[in-house]
Structure 1
Amino acid sequence: MLRLRRAAAAAAAAAMTSASLITGCAFHGEAATYDGGLARSQRQKVVWHGCKNSPRDTMGDELDKAGARCGEVTVPLDYRHPDGRVIKVALSRLRATDRAHRHGTLLYNPGGPGVPALYLALQLRQAEPLLAARYDVIGMDPRFVGRSTPLDCHWPTVSIGSAGPDRSTFEKTVRLSRDLASRCARHRSVLPFVSTRNTARDMDVIRAALGEKKINYLGSSYGTYLGEVYLQLFPHRADRVVLDSTLDPDLYGPDLTRTMGPAVGRALEHWAAWVARRDSRYHLGSTTAEVLNAVNELNRTVSRGPIRVGRHTVDSQVLPQLLWNVTAGDDDEAYASYSADVRVLVTAARGSEANPTQVLEQTLTGLAAPDTDGTFSVQTAIQCADRAASHDPEAYYRDIQAHRTTEPVFGPLARTVTPCSFWPAAPAEPATKVRNDVPVLMVGATGDPAAVYQGQLAAHRDLRGSRLVTLRGAFHHTVYAGLFAPKNMCVDKAVNTYLKDGTLPPGDMTCRS
């Protein structure tokens, strides 16, 4: 139920929200509190200009050369108070090349949260000629990200790390999480509004400012949750919607990674079978079991004490993050790169001198660096604003201990405490309950290590008007257009057919990797 300032308004909103859950439409409940802020913001028009904003702005330069235009919309910090503080949200537009067959505007969110999308909209259009021809493609830097009134807590690290093998290493993550949260306290006045619900409202402001009655949408990873929230708040404003690797809306939040450990473990097994067939090259074992034993022995060795890899120290809080990179992809190129990195780590753990590969060097350097652009802090801020986390660190420690046997490598990383447990501001609204009948096309892989398939099925049930295209036998995250994983012609055909004529498949479909 929405938090309203007056009891009467709260009661009215509660009644409308309850009805909306039955009918699958939450628009009227949204309007009861936020329509004033939305209506005022939606009367504006975007003033377009060049995208390059400095001599060193290579992203803006590429957008300009591709014919893009950039602009901003002004939105309330808090839609309940439209006369209060406002912020800027930046967007880019690449116009449809086939104006005679233009269908409308398509807004793209690649995931994150906290990922700028101005430039990635160009990559999407380059990857899919159909989108370039039929749609004006919009890239949006979500509120407090990139060029959209950026928020930066100046964190000294880009990760919390694993909770490690024991109480002492877990307490390190607790202290670090508490410290990082305290560094965001100076932004306390805005933190409750760094939420996906408000980003969805910003999307609807953009829709109106562009003069569109409805908007088309493509979201992947976290972008699927943003799409789910938009559909729940504005079901009548959505046209053709594609969700790639859909998150379970009932689980999204600071603790979402707790669902990922087993899925990443299965991805590790898939890689182990691949590398076992290439034992003459990588020497990690000639069977899946031997390879997994080598990884587990590596983990046990590092749990007893750190190892040296070139100029870097790899300890029990860093190693699981390196091994988590098995999620980067399941094609030969990705697995070859990952295998070379694991070979280096195993060599170091066995006491021999080991120098990192170029990829491993970059990864280790990045993990040791501060959060220079604020990505980690704003990503965390969004999750903390979307759903409250437990404030009891012991709950996380008990969960880690309960899963040490079944998730020895990834459990302490995926299940540890986060800064949200110590966050200086509570969410302004409850988490969004997604239940509606809006037509949606969902695509995803059975072995997805991030958007776990059980969560995709749960989202499919919640989005009762959806069709699901399942890619079987794949262990990568995102499946459409080859942007972040290998292209699959079956998946791409299903999506492009829908985007071309608006017709969903008659039923759920299965594609093969």
Structure 2
Amino acid sequence: MRSRLTPALAVTGLLIAGCSSMPAHDSARESPQPASHATLAWSACPDGVENPDAGPPRLRCATVPVPLDYRDPDGQQLDLTISRLASTKPEARRGSLMLNPGGPGGSGLDQPIFLAQRGIPQELQDSYDLIGIDTRGIGHSSPISCGFTSDVAYYGAVPPYAYDERAFEEQSATAHTVAERCAANDDGRMRHVTTANMARDLDRIRAALGEEKGNYLGYSYGTALGAAYASMFPDATDRIVLDSNIGDTHLDRDGMRRYALGMEETFPDFANWVAARDARYGLGNTPAAVRESYFRIAGKLDRDPVDGVDGRAFRLGTFVSLYNPASYGATADSWRTMRDREPNDAPSAITQAARQMDNNWSVFLAVTCNDVKWPTDPDTYRRAVEADRQKYPLFGAAAANIMPCAFWQIDQTEPPVAVDDEGPTNVLVVQHQRDPVTPHHNGVQIDDAFGGRSTLLSVDGSGHGVYGLGKNPCAQDVITDYLVDGTMPEHDRTCPA
């Protein structure tokens, strides 16, 4: 899922995490490409990258050829589309900063403009050309498709809440259908849409930009890609910031299940906010009462959907709304609507999104299912659903539910990338203490894996995404100081609220 998500009920590839269930490489290192002296052909970006109503275009775009299969570097090539928001102060410019918004499956061409609009410091924009990227398979970079249509009630990157055995069996059948559809629509490219190959692509982009070393800022799934990049090409990387971490270089079942932990840790911030405004929303005047309203409304919608929203979509929408405290008011309003409105037969809010999200969901599945092998026995997921429904009642029976990866039919090309703890101390790990999808545990986990190469910046705050997306001045300053001046905190640090 992208780090900029709004509380929509139908969501794209979100953010992910994990620990491998199969051995990783002993060494992830590969030889970097020499910096190119050729000039990229920058031109107007594709329609839709920038809003024409916002004024003259500020971005320029170019394409970078990369091998489809790095084992055959001179074979079939893919054209990756990248964007650039150029520094306007040559005397201050120190290089290029490659960006990733998350996913896997999030288009990144507009990310330089998005971050500039969110108010990232001008000194950062002066110091770098900001580079947006559509990673392989997404958007304008040789897009892939599983062929999603509205006939499949698929929930994208997060499986639906299995409120009973029938709901689990329904999701199992859907997951199987989706896996078959992905295999049927594969033209041979899908197996090569992996985090390892995307990290190799970053090194090619770095070289094409003429940079001796690469700088990188990644959010959510972008932290997995950044961790892989820093591990595979440690000596060709300069300043790396991993913001809102999934905990490794890939997503696996344990990482997905930690979504439920993140929601339990973050929900009290929302509940406190709503309880303090009980006169307006009437959802409870204590956090406990607000929590009870959540279960009561979800149970009602499990039985009788309202406006196309059933209990599964309601839980998913609430989960996503916790990404950004600015969404709390709209979420509380929607709760009131779901509580008070009579059941009706409106079309499902989930199935309406399928065709629109086809490319995003296809990339999410390709990367997630290709990176690491998932359990194939449905009973493994059934037992996890029952356990996590009790342990994490807000969202456990969703995060533990079965995925199409259980039925994946596309051969895996290589094991997941191993985190390399030997190399430059150049990785700044940034993590809110309360994050619904990437809990603080994940930041600690990846920081431990990098050992002396990384420093952990914990932020006493709530939501998904810190730099430019959060409101903590201390955190913004620490990250800017590192990216602009190279000042890494001497020790792990916590920024107070």
Do the structures match in fold with TM over 0.5? yes
Give the drift of 1:365: 4.1
Aligned counterpart, 2:454: 466
1:181-196 correspondence runs (5 A): 181-185=179-183, 186-187=185-186, 189-196=188-195
Structure 1 unaligned residues grouped into runs of 5+ = 1-15, 21-25
1:333-371 superposed Cα distances (whole Å, 9 cap, x missing partner): 4211111111222224xxx57999xxxx9xx74653223
Q: How many residues align?
A: 462
Aligned counterpart, 2:90: 99
Secondary structure, counterpart of 1:130 in structure 2: helix
1:104-123 correspondence runs (5 A): 104-123=95-114
1:56-135 correspondence runs (5 A): 57=48, 59=50, 65-126=56-117, 127-128=119-120, 129-135=122-128
Secondary structure, counterpart of 2:312 in structure 1: coil
Query: What letter corresponds to residue 297 of structure 1 in structure 2?
Result: R
1:150-197 superposed Cα distances (whole Å, 9 cap, x missing partner): 112221255154242222111111111111111111316222210011
Aligned counterpart, 2:21: none
The answer on whether the counterparts of 2:467 and 2:476 sit within 8 Å (CA) in structure 1 is yes
Secondary structure, counterpart of 2:308 in structure 1: strand
* Structure 1 CA distance for aligned equivalents of residues 415 and 127 of structure 2: 37
* Residue among 363, 369, 376 paired with 2:361: 376
* Structure 2 CA distance for aligned equivalents of residues 58 and 407 of structure 1: 39
Aligned counterpart, 1:49: 42
Aligned counterpart, 2:210: 211
Shift in alpha-carbon separation, 1:341–1:60, aligned structure 2, 3 A: closer
The answer on whether the counterparts of 2:84 and 2:129 sit within 8 Å (CA) in structure 1 is yes
Query: What letter corresponds to residue 295 of structure 1 in structure 2?
Result: Y
The answer on whether the counterparts of 1:50 and 1:69 sit within 8 Å (CA) in structure 2 is yes
Shift in alpha-carbon separation, 1:74–1:410, aligned structure 2, 3 A: same
Query: What letter corresponds to residue 276 of structure 2 in structure 1?
Result: R
* Structure 2 CA distance for aligned equivalents of residues 324 and 44 of structure 1: 47
* Structure 2 CA distance for aligned equivalents of residues 17 and 250 of structure 1: 12
Aligned counterpart, 2:165: 167
* Residue among 328, 333, 357 paired with 1:340: 333
1:314 aligned to 2:309? yes
Aligned counterpart, 1:327: 322
Aligned counterpart, 2:277: 278
1:378-399 superposed Cα distances (whole Å, 9 cap, x missing partner): 1111111111111111110111
The structure whose RCO (Cα within 8 Å, separation 6+) is larger is: 2
Between Structure 1 and Structure 2, which shows a larger proportion of helix residues?
A: 1
**TM-score normalised over the length of structure 1:** 0.84
* Structure 2 CA distance for aligned equivalents of residues 419 and 355 of structure 1: 28
The answer on whether the counterparts of 1:131 and 1:137 sit within 8 Å (CA) in structure 2 is no
Secondary structure, counterpart of 1:313 in structure 2: coil
Give the drift of 1:411: 1.4
* Structure 2 CA distance for aligned equivalents of residues 392 and 83 of structure 1: 39
Shift in alpha-carbon separation, 1:58–1:88, aligned structure 2, 3 A: closer
Shift in alpha-carbon separation, 1:401–1:470, aligned structure 2, 3 A: same
Once the two structures are overlaid, the 10-residue window that deviates more, 218-227 or 373-382, is 373-382
* Structure 2 CA distance for aligned equivalents of residues 254 and 192 of structure 1: 20
* Structure 2 CA distance for aligned equivalents of residues 208 and 345 of structure 1: 52
Give the drift of 1:451: 1.4
1:429-468 correspondence runs (5 A): 429-437=414-422, 438=424, 439-464=426-451, 465-468=453-456
Secondary structure, counterpart of 1:143 in structure 2: coil
Give the drift of 1:52: 3.8
1:195-223 superposed Cα distances (whole Å, 9 cap, x missing partner): 01101101101111121110111111111
Shift in alpha-carbon separation, 1:232–1:66, aligned structure 2, 3 A: same
Once the two structures are overlaid, the 10-residue window that deviates more, 66-75 or 153-162, is 153-162
* Residue among 169, 176, 179 paired with 2:177: 179
1:441-479 superposed Cα distances (whole Å, 9 cap, x missing partner): 12111111111111110111112221111111x220111
1:32-72 superposed Cα distances (whole Å, 9 cap, x missing partner): xxx7xx67xx7684532322445xx4628689934432111
The answer on whether the counterparts of 1:125 and 1:131 sit within 8 Å (CA) in structure 2 is no
The answer on whether the counterparts of 1:63 and 1:119 sit within 8 Å (CA) in structure 2 is no
The answer on whether the counterparts of 2:244 and 2:432 sit within 8 Å (CA) in structure 1 is yes
Aligned counterpart, 1:504: 488
The answer on whether the counterparts of 1:51 and 1:63 sit within 8 Å (CA) in structure 2 is no
* Structure 1 CA distance for aligned equivalents of residues 349 and 448 of structure 2: 42
The answer on whether the counterparts of 1:247 and 1:451 sit within 8 Å (CA) in structure 2 is yes
Instruction: Kindly name which structure, 1 or 2, has the bigger radius of gyration based on alpha carbons.
Output: 1
Once the two structures are overlaid, the 10-residue window that deviates more, 269-278 or 242-251, is 242-251
- Identity among equivalent positions (%) equals 32
Aligned counterpart, 1:402: 387
The answer on whether the counterparts of 1:225 and 1:247 sit within 8 Å (CA) in structure 2 is yes
RMSD of equivalent CA atoms = 2.6
* Residue among 382, 387, 392 paired with 2:377: 392
Secondary structure, counterpart of 1:106 in structure 2: strand
**TM-score normalised over the length of structure 2:** 0.86
Query: What letter corresponds to residue 321 of structure 2 in structure 1?
Result: V
Give the drift of 1:258: 0.8
* Residue among 470, 473, 477 paired with 1:493: 477
Aligned counterpart, 1:481: 468
Shift in alpha-carbon separation, 1:69–1:300, aligned structure 2, 3 A: closer
* Structure 1 CA distance for aligned equivalents of residues 277 and 296 of structure 2: 20
The answer on whether the counterparts of 1:68 and 1:92 sit within 8 Å (CA) in structure 2 is yes
1:425-451 superposed Cα distances (whole Å, 9 cap, x missing partner): 132110111132432112111111111
* Structure 2 CA distance for aligned equivalents of residues 146 and 256 of structure 1: 26
* Structure 1 CA distance for aligned equivalents of residues 87 and 250 of structure 2: 36
Shift in alpha-carbon separation, 1:306–1:478, aligned structure 2, 3 A: same
